[in-house]
Amino acid sequence: MNYAVVGVSTGTVYRECQYRSECFKWMNSKFAKRYQRESGSLGMSVHLTYPEAMMVVHL
């Protein structure tokens, strides 16, 4: 079974994997997590490094 990480808007294939879990691991590695102190509490902001939303599809 093959899976792919595909852009929702353009249909661009960013990555092909043998297992679905590998696709999700790859997508999670592309998120940049930044921890910031805001008024005494720990806040987290997540920024995606790709310009469009992505989804995992079965090929």
Give pLDDT tens digits for 15-41. Answer: 999 999 999 988 887 765 555 555 555
Q: Other C-beta atoms within 10 Å of 50: how many?
A: 13
CA distance 21 to 38: 34
3-state secondary structure of 56: strand
CA 39 to chain centre: 29
> Across all residues in the chain, what is the average pLDDT?
79
Is 0.75 surpassed by the pTM of this model? no
CA distance 57 to 59: 6
* pLDDT recorded at residue 16: 95
CA distance 29 to 39: 29
